Amino acid sequence: MDYRTEYEKWCTDSYFDGDTRAELKAIAGDEAEIQDRFYRQLEFGTGGLRGIIGAGTNRMNIYTVRQATQGLANYIISQNGQEKGVVIAYDSRIMSPEFAGEAALCLCANGIRAFVFESLRPTPELSFAVRRLSCIAGIVITASHNPREYNGYKVYWEDGAQITPPHDKNILAEVGKVTDFGQVKTMEKAEAKAAGLYAVIGKEIDDCYMEELKKQSVHPEMIKEMSGDIRIVYTPLHGTGNIPVRRLLSELGFSQVYVVPEQEMPDGNFPTVPYPNPEMPEAFELALKLAKEVDADIVLATDPDADRLGMYAKDKKTGEYVSFTGNMSGMLIAEYILRERSLAGTLPKNGVLVETIVTTDMAGAIAEAYGVKLVEVLTGFKYIGEQIKLMEQTKDEYVFGLEESYGCLAGTYTRDKDACVAVMMLCEACAWCRKNGITLWDAMTDLYEKYGYYREGLHMLTLKGMDGAAQIQAIMAKLRENPPEKIGAYKVLAFRDYKNDVRIELASMEKSATGLPESNVLYYELEDGGWCCVRPSGTEPKIKFYFGVVGADAADAGEQLEALKKALLALAQPQD
C-alpha cells in the first residue's frame, strides 16, 4: 500500500465526512503519523479488528468497521445465513455505539437482520444471545482491557464462540476482498426498521442470561446462610459490569456489596485509571481504599466488557490485601467446583477441565486429583469455547475452563469467558471459606501445599509501528530457527513450533505433530516442570513472553521464576 496516495485520497474524497478529512489535514506535516495511519489496512485477524480510534486505514473508524462488516455479510450470504440474523452488542468505549450502529446498518443493507442491544452489555451476554436467538453470528464492539484510545470489533459464530477454523480464515478472506469503499453497502436506520431488518433487544435477554448465571452456583443455600458475613468491594472500571454484577450478587443474596462510586458509571475516557485492565495494580487503587474502609473480605474488578476479572483478598494474619493472578483465582474456582461437586455427587465421570497452553500447570494436578480429563488449547478463549461445541458431539462433559489472562467460564450457557460468573463463584468460595473458618488467601496457600508451588509470569514488549512489527517478526524468526538447548539453568526437553505444527524432543530429535491449529507460537518444555512460551499479541503491537516453574516453597518458586524470566528475555535480544 502506498500510504501517501491513500492519505491524499482520504483527505480529498467526498466519500469521507468533513470531520475525517479535517482530522487528516491537521497532520499534513507529520510524516511519521501519516505513515502509521496508512501503511497498512487495519488487520482483520482471526477474531476481528482492534486498533486506535481515528481516521486512516490503520485505525478504528466507521469506514473500517463498515468494510469489515461488508466482508462478514458476504460470508454470511455465502453460507445462506442471512435469514438467521446477527446480534450486536457494545461496551462503554468511545465510539462503541456508533460503530455498533454502522455495523448493523451495513448488515441490513445486505438483507441481514440485525438484533442490536438497546445499551451497553457485557461481551459474554452477546455470546449467550447468539445462541438464545439462533443467530448465524454476533458482533461485539469492544477493545476489552486495552488503553482508552483503542476500540475493537469481535465476531462470533452461531455456536456462540469467537470464530474458529474454518470460519475465521474464510471470513478473513472475504474481508480481504473488500478493497474499495464503493463495495460497502449501508442504509438509513429508519428505512432498516421499516423493512423489519433492525430490531432492538434488551431486558428479555438480560433476564434469561441472569437465570443461567445463577444456575452455575454450587451451593446457593450456603450463600444465603453466609452472605451477611461477607463484605464485597466491586468496581466495573467504568465499563459494562456494573448492572449485571450488582443484580447477580443481589439476587443470590449477598447483602454487603460496596461499589467504588468513582468508577461506577460507564465512561470511555476511563478517567480514574491509566489503563482499564484488572491485571494492573493501578486499577485497584480506589477499590483497595474502599476495601480498607469497610474491612472487605474480597475485592473484585471487571474490565470494560466484563469478560475478565481481577481480584484481591484479605490476609487476616497480616491485615493486608493480597493480589491474585488469573491463574490463582482460576485455580481457586476450579478446586471449589470440583471438590464441592465431587462431594455432592454431581461431578460427571466424564468431566473435562480446559485450559490454554500458557495457563498454570497446577490445572493438571487438580484435574488428576479429581479424576477429570485435562484438555489444553491454544491461547485465546475461543478455543475453549470450541471445545464445548466439540464435547457436545462426544461423551465428554465440560466442567470449567480458564486462561491465565484473568478469564474463565463455569457452565456452557455462554461460549466466552465471563467475569460475571467468575465474580459469583469467587464470592461463593469466599462464603465457603468463612463458614469453614478460613480466608481465600488461606485457601490459596492450601492449594500450594497440596499441589505444589506453581508460579507463572508474563512479560510484554511493546514495539509500535512498521519498524516494531518487523522487530517482532525478527525475534520470532530468531527463536524459531535457533531453538536453544538450555534457557538459563533449565535444560530444554522439547520444543514446540505451532506455526509449523511440530514438536521436537531435543534428546532424540524425534518429531511429532503438536495436535493444535496453526499459530505463530513457540513453546519450550523445560526440566523440573518448568516451561516458557513466546508469541506476538493478536490485538496489540506487542510480543509476549510467558514462563512457569514449580518450587519447593513460595520463596524458591519466586527465585526460580525471576531467573527464568531473565534468561528468556536475554535469549530474545538481537545478536551483536
Instruction: Encode burial over 445-470: b for 16+ CB neighbours within 10 A, e otherwise.
Output: bebbeebbbbbbbbbebebeeeeebe
Q: With a cut of 70, say whether residue 1 has pLDDT above it.
A: no
Q: Residues for the chain: how many in total?
A: 576
Q: What are 403's strand-pairing partners? A: 407
24 in helix, strand or coil? helix
| 267 CB-near residues (< 8 Å, 6+ apart) | 92, 238
The helix or strand, by DSSP H or E, that contains position 26, with its residue range, turns out to be none
The pLDDT value given to residue 4: 94
Stretch among 57-66, 462-471, 506-515, 556-565 having the lowest mean pLDDT = 462-471
Q: What is the mean pLDDT of residues 40-52?
A: 86
Q: What is the mean pLDDT of residues 434-462?
A: 96
Residue given cell 476511563 in the structure block: 270
Mean pLDDT value across the chain: 95
Stretch among 71-75, 356-360, 460-464, 512-516 having the lowest mean pLDDT = 460-464
The CATH architecture one would assign to domain 453-571 is 2-Layer Sandwich (3.30)
Q: What is the mean pLDDT of residues 329-352?
A: 97
Of all residues in the chain, the percent with pLDDT exceeding 90 is: 90
- Euclidean distance between CA atoms 424 and 217, whole angstroms: 7
Q: With a cut of 60, say whether residue 576 has pLDDT above it.
A: no
Identify the band that residue 448 occupies on the pLDDT scale cut at 50, 70 and 90: very high
The pLDDT value given to residue 43: 85
User: Would you state the torsion angle of the CA atoms of residues 120, 416, 221, 429, taken in this order, to the nearest 10 degrees?
Assistant: -110
Q: What is the mean pLDDT of residues 58-72?
A: 96
Q: What is the mean pLDDT of residues 330-344?
A: 98
Identify the band that residue 574 occupies on the pLDDT scale cut at 50, 70 and 90: low
The pLDDT value given to residue 572: 83
Q: What is the CATH number of domain 206-451?
A: 3.40.120.10
Domain boundaries, the chain: 40-201, 206-451, 453-571
Of all residues in the chain, the percent with pLDDT exceeding 70 is: 99
The pLDDT value given to residue 467: 85
The pLDDT value given to residue 47: 74
- Euclidean distance between CA atoms 316 and 430, whole angstroms: 13
- Euclidean distance between CA atoms 293 and 233, whole angstroms: 10
Residue of higher predicted confidence among 468 and 171: 171
Q: What are 522's strand-pairing partners? A: 497, 534
pLDDT tens-digit series, residues 527-543 = 999 999 999 987 678 89
Q: With a cut of 60, say whether residue 575 has pLDDT above it.
A: no
Q: In terms of DSSP H, where are the helices of 26-122?
A: 31-38, 62-78, 96-109
The pLDDT value given to residue 463: 86
Active site residues: 144
pLDDT tens-digit series, residues 383-442 = 999 999 999 999 999 999 999 999 999 999 999 999 999 999 999 999 999 999 999 999
Rg (CA), the chain: 24
pLDDT tens-digit series, residues 68-123 = 999 999 999 999 999 999 999 999 999 999 999 999 999 999 999 999 999 999 99
Q: What is the CATH number of domain 40-201?
A: 3.40.120.10
Question: Do the first three CATH levels of 40-201 and 453-571 match, i.e. the same topology?
Answer: no
- Euclidean distance between CA atoms 210 and 122, whole angstroms: 12
